[in-house]
Structure 1
Amino acid sequence: MTSRDIQHMRRAVALAARGQGGTSPNPVVGCVVLDASGEVAGEGFHAYAGGPHAEVVALREAGERARGGTAYVTLEPCNHTGRTGPCAGALLEAGVARVVVAVADPNPVAAGGAETLASRGVRVEAGLLAEEAERVNAAWLTFARSRRPYVTWKFAATLDGRSAARDGTSQWITSPEARAEVHRLRAESDAVLVGVGTVLADDPSLTARVPEPLRARPVLRVVADPGARTPASARVLDDAAPTLVAVADDAVVPPHLAGAVRLPRADGGIHLRALMAELHGRQIVSVLLEGGPTLAGSFLREGLVDRVVGYLAPALLGAGAAALGPAGVETIAEAHRLEFEEVTPVGPDLRIVLRPQSPKES
């Protein structure tokens, strides 16, 4: 691989990122097509589920210039017909001579595009910038490989890790700029998840208030409510967005929660892996975990947190509720170790983005 190969694949990764929030339950994919002389002839990305795939967009732009050229694709071209035709076939029809792939497709229904291309004489090379391509498509890859949604835990806290003061007040720890970003995070997610404690304490609406919708389907609001305590007046039960209330299978459910899904109990709450399986079955690729230190601790303990996004306010409380509840740690050796991915000022606050040092068993 040459430096120009890296340059073009990096551009394909950047294009893929432009589809985040709009393609679910499909992956984000970017593609750059060069002509036979090595000049960029077309580029594209998958913008929305059911729309043209990245390769098709790039090939349309390239036209006849694609013949004998090279295509850089962040995910192995699909080899099946769904709402659109197979991208491997489109590349063959366009006469592309070389295809560089970052990540193999883990979906057995769609995989095999690289093999099909190679069998027809196309030079296929794989693995270029795989780590970068995996990161931009982390949610869908987790969904496909682990058969559960990708979970981002979002929290807001003071510098000493408090999410509420001693008297219970928590609005607002962070700035308007940080809160605007949270709405963007919601809009990029398929679901926003809280515990019933958050519903009872704050009565949040959990809607994504952004200037322009990012997705065709609305964000699903999910409440983990083992005892079926969500009141009929709760804002999460309004018609602003769909809501799924998950109750324990032995809960006495009031009439206004008749549509709740029943799941097994575990550790006094909802069985989280059963909840993840339920959401996976509903084609929920990504979840933004917002609610409560107890629920966050349980997700960490179960190894179900894939990314952490924290907003730290330049304030100290010295007492009050911690942002994180019990997470199964008894000694420093058992600490959940994370790696910094990004540290960015947001207004007067600080946004930190972290990921687990090593993947948890899923």
Structure 2
Amino acid sequence: MRRAVALAARGLGSTSPNPVVGCVVLDRDGRTVGEGWHQRAGGPHAEVHALAEAGDDARGGTALVTLEPCNHTGRTGPCAQALIEAGVSRVVYAVADPSPVAAGGAATLRDAGVHAEGGLLADEAAAVNAAWLTSVRRQLPYVTWKFAATLDGRTAAADGTSRWITSSEARADVHRLRAGSDAVLVGSGTARSDDPHLAVRGVPGAVQPLRVVLDTEGTAVRAEARVLDDAAPTLVAVAEDAEAGALAAAVEDSGHQFLRLPRTAGGLDLDALLAALFAQDVRRVLLEGGAGLAGAFVAQGRVDEIVAYLAPALLGAGPAALADAGIGTIAQALRLSFGETEHLGPDLRLTARPAPDALAPEPSSTAAAPAVHPANEEF
């Protein structure tokens, strides 16, 4: 099963809106005869790849799968039925499928006389599939907030210079993080000051994520902005009442998407944004900047994971990584649990996650997500 979890991770960034899944097939004597992972949405599932490699050796054997085999016919057939037809006698899966559409594979297997059991290495399998599992249960994307800072938490010097706080190794890792995401998100401050490109570079075979810019007033993204090139798709969101005719024209000319969102006291309605992204099959969002936008996400309990790149340097002054997040006293501090720690050149990459009870609940409204329009449509 641990090998199946490692195989599943190979699909990160290329399977949305589907989960990442790995499968290992053993013959009657317990020897590995087939391996597979879900490689892309619409393509064969992990079990199908592994069974094809195993051939007749799968008959009477065991299949180990990181997610309960699906019981649904979509662009591909149900994996539970494929396992039955292959003649396996036992299926061990790590995590039950929470999707109401695809769940029920274990029951189908048992009804056909196949021994099926779940829970083996469930925590490890759930960790590699955290974004998909969370988004399915919540019906909103999983949000990872990434930032790079000095050891004293500064993202730039007092004069505004910030290139480069972290090393080339850390910056290369950011591109791998982007490649594993469905959307990369920044706010108007970052768009105005940095003119970021947000596309993945240096990751062979990467599927380019959707570039998303929240430009509340419609004044930060210019016609010549790098996010409006053809390197990756882009969505620009503005307030419903913003005077954004010039921006709409620029988005129209570049062939990208334009979205109007309800305005809130702090800017744009983040849940409405996330609902619109979920409706576009976005399951994992990488929040890259800046401090104000990160503060808004933290304040609303919409940050599921934090990836911090810390450089062994001190500045003492300059902008902090996080702006006002609605925390007024130490008792309100958002407490985190550290996950993985990794050295990247001279820098340190830290992963942390809030406790589940620190996150916002699922949206109570069942209203449809805001419509996303090409900018040349009337709306």
Q: Is 1:210 the counterpart of 2:212 in the alignment?
A: no
Range moving further from structure 2, 284-293 or 206-215: 206-215
Show the counterpart of 1:61. Answer: 53
1:94 paired with 2:92, answer no
Q: Normalising by the residue count of structure 1, what TM-score does the alignment of the two structures yield?
A: 0.95
Match in the other structure for 1:5 = none
**In structure 2, distance between residues paired with 1:163 and 1:246:** 25
Structure 2 counterpart of 1:271: 269
- Give the alignment's TM-score, normalised by structure 2: 0.90
8 Å CA contact retained: 2:80, 2:105: yes
Percent of aligned pairs with the same amino acid: 66
Aligned to 1:233: 224
1:179 is displaced (CA, Å) by 0.8
Deviation at 1:239, TM superposition (A): 2.0
Mapped partners of 1:187, 1:39: distance in 2: 34
* Secondary structure at 1:153 match in 2: strand
CA contact (8 A) 2:93 2:118 kept: yes
**Whole-angstrom distance in 2 between the partners of 1:257 and 1:113:** 46
Which residue matches 2:324? 326
Asked whether the equivalents of residues 150 and 312 of structure 2 are also in contact (C-alpha less than 8 Å), the reply is yes
Secondary structure at the aligned position of 1:14 is classed as: helix
Distance in 2, matches of 1:15 and 1:211, equals 18
1:178-189, aligned counterparts within 5 Å?
Answer: 178-189=170-181
> What is the deviation of 1:232?
1.8
Partner SS, residue 164 of structure 1? coil
Q: Secondary structure at the match of 1:322?
A: coil
For residue 224 of structure 1, what is the aligned residue in structure 2?
A: 214
Amino acid at match of 1:235: R
Q: Deviation of residue 268 (structure 1)?
A: 2.9
* Aligned counterparts of 1:268 and 1:138: Cα–Cα separation in 2: 29
Q: Name stretches of at least 5 consecutive residues in structure 1 with no aligned partner.
A: 1-8
What is the alpha-carbon distance in structure 1 between the residues aligned to residue 356 and residue 203 of structure 2? 36
Aligned-partner SS, 1:160: coil
Whether the 8 Å contact between 1:187 and 1:213 is mirrored in structure 2 is no
Contact map agreement 2:175 2:203 (CA 8 A) in 1: no
Give 3-state SS (helix, strand or coil) of 2:109's partner.
helix
| 1:247, distance to aligned residue in structure 2 (A) | 0.6
- Aligned residues: CA RMSD: 1.2
Residue 31 of structure 1 pairs with residue 23 of structure 2: yes
After TM superposition, the structure 1 = structure 2 runs for residues 136-285 of structure 1, keeping only pairs within 5 Å, are 136-215=128-207, 218-229=208-219, 230-258=221-249, 260-285=258-283
| Equivalent position to 1:47, from 32, 39, 43 | 39
Aligned pairs, number:
352
2:254 aligned partner: none
> Unaligned stretches of 5+ in structure 2?
250-256, 363-379
How many angstroms does 1:338 deviate by?
Answer: 1.1
* Offset, 1:180: 1.0
Paired with 1:14 and 1:208, the residues of 2 have a C-alpha distance of: 23
Displacement of 1:130 after TM fit?
1.0
Partner of 2:10: 18
Cα offset, 1:120, TM superposition: 1.1
Deviations 1:29-56 (A, max 9, x none): 0111111122212111111111111101
Structure 2 CA distance, aligned partners of 1:352 and 1:156?
10
Q: Identify the residue that residue 335 of structure 1 maps to in structure 2.
A: 333
Deviation of 1:354 after TM superposition, in Å, equals 1.1
State the alpha-carbon separation in 2 of the partners of residues 232 and 64 from structure 1. Answer: 59
Counterpart of 1:61, as a letter, is E
SS at match of 2:24: strand
Q: Aligned letter for 1:255?
A: A
Distance 2:32 2:2 in 1: 13
